[in-house]
Chains A and B, each alone.
Chain A
Amino acid sequence: MTTIMNSFKPHEKRIARKIKETTDIFTIEIDMESNSYPGQFYELSILGIGEAPISAASSSSEKLKFTIRSIGHVTSKIFEQDVIGVRGPYGNYWPFKEYDRILAIAGGIGIPPIRALIHELEGKKDLWVIYGARTPSDLVYKYEFDQWRNKANLILTVDRGDESWNGKVGLVTKYIPEIPDLKNMAAFLIGPPIMMENSVKDLLKYGLQPENIFLSLERRMECGFGVCGHCNVGHFYVCEDGPIFRYSEVSNLPELFL
């Protein structure tokens, strides 16, 4: 008789390190090696409370890391745990192997899979990153920005500056035209729907091909492997067909930017 693996059952893993990023965002490092590529997600759980789908913030050669905004039942409690349930990875990843020049645009708490990408590529490709947050105090990974600048061209921007901020101000779309030879790049987008929608519009305007624009979508991925039915966008399930979608394949789905 074949032994069946129970795909619903998480592995109990120790949280090895916790970093407070902002007032409501924190990073945890799990006591296990990453076995995922940037863009893939895991289901993290606290027994008795529930599960939440979270994208990995780590590259494939780091310890598994997650950066989480504490907002839901599970995410508001994870930081207090010593041990959590982990299952995954699920879904596909950014198609970074196919492109030599990549523009990554991340808004708010969309940044973790782009952090993973920066560490995955290790400066080996022409990577540009535009990372926008509401205010300077909402930016995460500040302690890594110097390191990132050795691996990528980094553009940081905030919607509203403060007295400590002497960097760029404005939406991420404002800085897209600063990227050289834009139309031959691939774009990887992740963040609030309105940010992605406006970024896509502008990228198309600047001549990027719809086949070379990729979006990371977020829905209620409960099971992670295509059986619970909660995360459909049109005829796709985000958990198994995504979370990364080629824009040309989803551009006509009416619920795309909800």
Chain B
Amino acid sequence: MIYSLNAEEMAQLYERISKEFETYGTVDIQGDITFSRIESYDELRIGRSDKPPKEFLIGRNENVLVFTEPNKKAVFGVMSCDLKGFYIMDKQIYGKDPFYTARRDNTVFINYVCTEPCETGFCSSFGGPLLNDYQIQVINYENDKYLIYADDAYKSFFEGFKQASKEEISKVEKLMHNFNMKQKKHEVEGIENRIKWNSKLWDEYAKICIQCGACNYSCPTCYCFDLNDVGEERFREWDSCILAGFTKTSAGNPRESLASRLRQRFYHKFVYYKKSKGEYLCTGCNRCTDDCPVDIEIKEVIDHDYNNE
């Protein structure tokens, strides 16, 4: 269903949701937009968070030997590029990882759709910020006007609220169209066929990469983790395919060179996942590049002319 709310009704919606769910949202901590527990709708500050919200579903550091049923959580302020990450990761890990699955089932993400392109993101190259998959999707398209796409599972929260008119919906569609026109396009489609195993890019990146793993940490679709025992506990820790130990076994290491590991990261995103799950493992958030201390650019990997190196 598609609803039309004003700011006061948005606060009411928050109240209704907060009766059933523990509420979280993006807050402004000294200029950093960060996800945090919130107690009132006023605390919410919409903006792109420094880190993606994947920690709501994949613990950064948690004992996997003890499983506890998760609390029901509502997370306000999730950007489309981040929300999309969950739907993409679902295809590999939902239903298999018991922690991820239980949290996914018990969490409602309230997606706030950008109406203006951000400085570095390129989500329109992946279809733009208006998503087909969502639970509750909010577009604040004019000062006091909110268009909300809500999955029927949440319709009880919208009782008494107005359904959106055709005019309102077309206004938002136009806005989204303009968003996509304004943002520079990168030709993602077909990258799996253009990219080259022996491209010079991998060697060039290997010369400058300092193997910090920030690209993996800041990525809304990187799901890999390591398991490490400490005493009586076995910890899941987010892992990075850029690190040398990622593939090391007692028989040796299939990716000893840094160039081969950098290539793996981009091949997983643009070739392997596309082949196995039909999707690119990237949403165009650009955090990997924004957070890279040596400016390795994911857009370059997409735009590069592999045939004329």
Q: Binding site of A, secondary structure by majority: helix, strand, loop or mixed?
A: loop
Q: Which residues does chain A contribute within 8 Å of B227, judged by CB atoms?
A: 8, 50-51, 222-223, 228
Q: Decide: B223 and A227 in contact? CB cutoff 8 A.
A: yes
Query: Which 8 pairs, one residue from A and one from B, show the smallest C-beta to C-beta distance?
Result: A229-B224, A258-B254, A235-B272, A8-B64, A6-B67, A235-B275, A227-B97, A72-B250
Interface stretch, picked from B24-32, B164-172, B231-239, is: B231-239
Q: Indicate if B273 sits at the interface (CB-CB under 8 A).
A: yes
A-B contact pairs, 24 of them (CB 8 A): A4-B67, A4-B101, A6-B65, A6-B66, A8-B64, A47-B229, A48-B231, A50-B227, A50-B228, A50-B229, A50-B234, A218-B251, A220-B249, A222-B226, A223-B227, A227-B92, A227-B93, A227-B225, A228-B225, A229-B224, A234-B272, A235-B276, A255-B255, A258-B252
Tally A-B pairs: CB < 8 A.
Answer: 103
- Smallest CB–CB gap between A220 and chain B, Å? 5
Q: Please encode chain A, from 216 to 228, with 1 for each CB lying within 8 Å of some chain B CB and 0 for all others.
A: 0011101101111
Q: Which of B134-142, B180-188, B240-248 contacts A (4 or more CB under 8 A)?
A: B240-248
B230 contacts across to A, CB distance below 8 A: 48
Contacts A220-B248, A232-B268 given; does A48 touch B276 at CB 8 Å: no
B81 in the interface (beta carbon within 8 A): no
Contacts of A255 in B (CB 8 A): 254-255
Q: Considering the chains assembled together, what is the distance between the CA atoms of A45 and B64 in angstroms? A: 14
Report which A residues bind B (CB closer than 8 A). Answer: 1, 4-9, 45, 47-51, 69, 71-72, 75, 192, 218-220, 222-223, 225-230, 232, 234-236, 254-255, 258
Which chain B residues lie closer than 8 Å to A222 at the CB level? 226-227
* B69 contacts partner chain A, Cβ-Cβ < 8 Å: yes
Q: Contacts A225-B96, A226-B93; is A219 near B250 (CB within 8 Å)?
A: no
- A227: B residues at CB distance < 8 A: 92-93, 96-97, 100, 223, 225
Residue of A nearest to B198 (CB): A254
Task: Tell me, yes or no, whether B98 is within 8 Å of chain A by CB.
Answer: yes
Interface residues of B in 71-103 (CB under 8 A from A): 92-93, 96-98, 100-102
Chain B binding surface SS class: mixed
* Interface residues, chain B, with chain A CB atoms under 8 Å away: 64-67, 69, 92-93, 96-98, 100-102, 197, 223-232, 234, 236, 239, 241, 246-252, 254-255, 264, 268, 271-273, 275-276
Chain A minimum-CB-distance residue to B275: A235
List the B residue with the shortest CB-CB distance to A8.
Answer: B64
B92 in complex: contacting residue of A49, A75, A218, A226, CB < 8 Å: A226
**B65 contact set on A, CB distance < 8 A:** 6, 8-9
In the complex, chain A residues whose CB is within 8 Å of the CB of B276: 235-236
A-side contacts of B255, CB under 8 Å? 255, 258
Contact of A254 among B69, B92, B197, B275 (CB under 8 A): B197
| Contact A219 B98, beta carbon cutoff 8 Å | no
**A residues within 8 A CB of B66?**
6
Considering residues A7, A49, A75, which has the most beta carbons from chain B within 10 angstroms of its beta carbon? A7
What residues of chain B lie closer than 8 Å to A7, measured between beta carbons? 96-98
In the bound complex, CA of A124 to CA of B232 (Å):
46
